């Protein structure tokens, strides 16, 4: 039986804005057969705190097997590799 692939996706969904890169990353992961642990950052404060805590400049951020992949462009390269 195939090992279940899973990923953690941190993405921004604010009341007035859904990050299109987060939506794209989730779709790419699902298309590639990953189960997505979708972690929503629902306020500007949560987004800023997440970026500061993880030392990243942007969301979404994807983690696969405990390994930080990066954002949606990084994910695209990772999945293509």
Over residues 31-78, the pLDDT tens digits come to 999 999 999 999 999 999 999 999 999 999 999 999 999 999 999 999
Confidence of residue 3 (pLDDT cuts 50, 70, 90): confident
Domain of 19: which CATH number?
3.40.30.10
Number of domains within the chain: 1
Which range of residues forms the domain containing residue 12? Answer: 5-80
Indicate the helix (H) or strand (E) that contains 60: none
Calpha distance 32→16 (Å, rounded):
29
User: Is the distance from CB of 8 to CB of 59 less than 8 angstroms?
Assistant: no
Over residues 4-32, the pLDDT tens digits come to 899 999 999 999 999 999 999 999 999 99
SS3 51: helix
**What separation in angstroms does the CA of 73 have from each of 1, 28, 35, 47, 79?**
30, 11, 19, 19, 10
Confidence of residue 1 (pLDDT cuts 50, 70, 90): low
User: Is the distance from CB of 25 to CB of 75 less than 8 angstroms?
Assistant: yes
């Amino acid at each position: 039986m195939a090992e279940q692939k899973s990923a953690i996706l941190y993405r921004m969904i604010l009341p007035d804005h859904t990050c299109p890169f987060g939506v794209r990353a989730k779709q790419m992961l699902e298309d590639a057969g990953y189960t997505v642990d979708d972690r929503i950052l629902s306020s500007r404060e949560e987004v800023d705190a997440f970026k500061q805590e993880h030392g990243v400049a942007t969301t979404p951020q994807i983690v696969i097997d405990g390994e930080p992949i990066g954002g949606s462009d990084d994910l695209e390269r990772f999945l293509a590799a």
